[in-house]
């Protein structure tokens, strides 16, 4: 049987999609620079002129003002007669010290966006061009990474607390939780809850000071171990695996889920969170599709996995009653009940 004829290409007069994609990069980089310089924090109390901000930051006014106008165009600053001021969104999430602060994620964003620039190289070489080799990283680099991820983990914990009822939960283990921001936020929101951070020994050592400075962190104990070879000690009402499954090969992902489930009591709950939860057709959510590319640049194995793949691993671990939530960011939550 002959192949069907190829359809004649439609004549396109302008590269609209290409131009839109190109235009989307610059505002993101302007936001990153604003986070790194803590521009938004310096505007927390009142409007300031470019000269005032430059003096506070110790930089040249002519250079800084270019960024300030770019941040206005990006929708993060506004101009008033008395100077530049944060938009409501920037004031809510980019001022250091406030509860919703996300600006600390700039360290992580710098690494991730650098990795995305190397996608073609990763494909050509057959390996990650921006490999996250945690074993080779210095303590300083690891600590920087933990700080960069911490604000997002705290925000994820607060979001989890709003979405689900933890009133009957007395003990929760955060597996591979970095500096424990998620479990600390849950403990802060629920005074009767005790948390455990289960992490590799070096990560746990570097995480301790960050965790104990976090509201709720005083009720989180640290347990060291490798989820790929052992289960956490004790039995908990719930276990959380955030941004962990996506960095593992399929066999390791199944093993991690099985060991996590072994530490959860019957009728307890497992929560899997991350950007890498794909629809079964692998075309959505958009964020998970693009995260799948980023993971290829960072890890030897791992990636965005489908809901069906998660369901298979959870079922093998004795869990069911699966619920999936797609977050506004494109990230996701899978909630399952320990059945046996």
Assigned token pair, 321: 């009653």
Within a 10 A sphere around the Cβ of 42, how many other Cβ atoms? 18
Give residue 161's pLDDT. Answer: 96
- The runs of H, that is alpha helices, within the chain are 16-37, 39-42, 50-57, 61-73, 88-93, 106-116, 119-125, 139-163, 181-189, 201-212, 250-261, 286-298, 307-316
**DSSP secondary structure letter of residue 279:** -
Q: Residue 59 has which token pair?
A: 């930089």
Alpha-carbon dihedral of residues 253, 136, 290, 244, nearest 10 degrees?
30
Side-chain half-sphere exposure of 133, counting CA atoms within 13 A: 9
Provide the phi-psi class of 180: left if phi over 0, else alpha when psi is between -120 and 50, else beta.
left
Q: What is the model's pLDDT at position 132?
A: 80
What would the mean pLDDT of 309-332 be, rounded to a whole number?
95
Give the integer Cα–Cα distance in Å for 201 and 210. Answer: 15
Mean pLDDT of the chain: 93
Which residues are 172's β-sheet partners?
Answer: 195, 238
pLDDT category of residue 1 using cuts at 50, 70 and 90: low
Nearest-CA neighbor of 276 among 241, 305, 252? 305
Instruction: Write out the H or E segment, with its range, that includes residue 326.
Output: strand 319-326
The pLDDT tens digits of the residues spanning 236-287 come to 999 999 999 999 999 999 999 999 999 999 999 999 999 889 999 999 999 9
**Percentages (nearest 5) of helix, strand, coil residues in the chain:** 45, 20, 35
312 and 251 in contact (C-beta within 8 Å)? no
Distance CA 55, CA 73 (A): 23
pTM here is 0.83
Convert the pLDDT of each residue in 172-199 to its tens digit: 999 999 999 999 999 999 999 999 999 9
Quick one: pLDDT at residue 262? 98
pLDDT above 60 for 8: no
Among left, alpha and beta (phi > 0; psi -120 to 50; other), residue 302 is: left
Cα–Cα distance between 112 and 117 in angstroms, integer?
9
CA pair distance 168, 246, nearest whole angstrom: 29
- List, in sequence order, every residue forming a beta bridge with 305; answer none if it has no partner: 277
φ/ψ (deg, to 5) at 155:
-60, -40
Largest distance between two CA atoms of the chain: 74
* pLDDT tens-digit map of 19-74: 998 889 999 999 999 999 999 999 999 999 999 999 999 999 999 999 999 999 99
* Phi, psi dihedral angles at 80 (to 5 degrees): -120, 170
The mean pLDDT of 88-103, rounded to a whole number, is 89
The residue among 215, 303, 315, 219 whose CA lies nearest residue 261 is 315
Output the six-digit token pair for 282: 């692998």
**Strand 194-199 and strand 171-175: pairing?**
parallel
Between 61-73 and 50-57, two packed helices, what is the crossing angle to 10 degrees? 120
What pLDDT, on a 0 to 100 scale, did the predictor assign at position 136? Answer: 82
| pLDDT tens digits, 258-270 | 999 999 999 999 9
Question: Which one, of 47, 70, 57, 150, lies nearest residue 103 by Cα?
Answer: 150
> In whole angstroms, what separates CA 53 from the centre of its chain?
30
């Amino acid at each position: 049987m002959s192949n069907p004829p190829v359809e004649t290409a439609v004549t396109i007069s302008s590269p609209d999609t290409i131009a839109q994609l190109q235009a989307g990069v610059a505002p993101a980089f302007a936001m990153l620079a604003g986070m790194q310089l803590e521009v938004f924090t310096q505007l927390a109390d009142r409007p300031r002129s470019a000269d005032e901000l430059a003096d506070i930051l110790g930089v040249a006014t002519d250079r800084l003002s270019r960024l300030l106008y770019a941040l206005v165009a990006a929708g993060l600053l506004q101009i008033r007669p008395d100077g530049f001021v944060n938009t409501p969104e920037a004031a809510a999430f980019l001022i250091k010290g406030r509860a919703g602060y996300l600006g600390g994620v700039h360290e992580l964003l710098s690494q991730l966006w650098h990795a995305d620039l190397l996608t073609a190289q990763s494909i050509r070489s057959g390996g990650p061009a921006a490999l996250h080799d945690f074993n080779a990283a210095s303590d300083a680099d690891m600590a920087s990474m933990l700080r960069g991820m911490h604000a997002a983990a705290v925000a994820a914990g607060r979001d989890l607390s709003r979405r689900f009822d933890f009133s009957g939960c007395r003990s929760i283990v955060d597996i591979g939780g970095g500096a424990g921001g998620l479990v600390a936020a849950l403990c802060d929101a629920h005074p009767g809850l005790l948390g455990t951070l289960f992490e590799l020994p070096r990560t746990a050592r570097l995480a301790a000071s960050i965790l104990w400075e976090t509201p709720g962190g005083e009720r989180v104990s640290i347990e060291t171990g490798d989820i790929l070879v052992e289960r956490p000690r004790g039995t908990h009402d719930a276990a959380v695996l955030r941004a962990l499954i996506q960095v593992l090969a399929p066999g390791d992902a199944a093993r991690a889920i099985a060991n996590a489930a072994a530490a959860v009591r019957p009728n307890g709950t497992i929560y899997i969170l991350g950007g890498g939860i794909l629809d079964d057709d692998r075309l959505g959510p958009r964020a998970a599709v693009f995260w799948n590319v980023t993971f290829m640049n960072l890890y030897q194995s791992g990636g965005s996995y489908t809901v069906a793949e998660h369901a298979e691993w959870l079922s093998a671990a004795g869990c069911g009653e699966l619920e999936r939530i797609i977050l506004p960011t494109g990230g996701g939550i899978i909630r399952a009940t320990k059945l046996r």
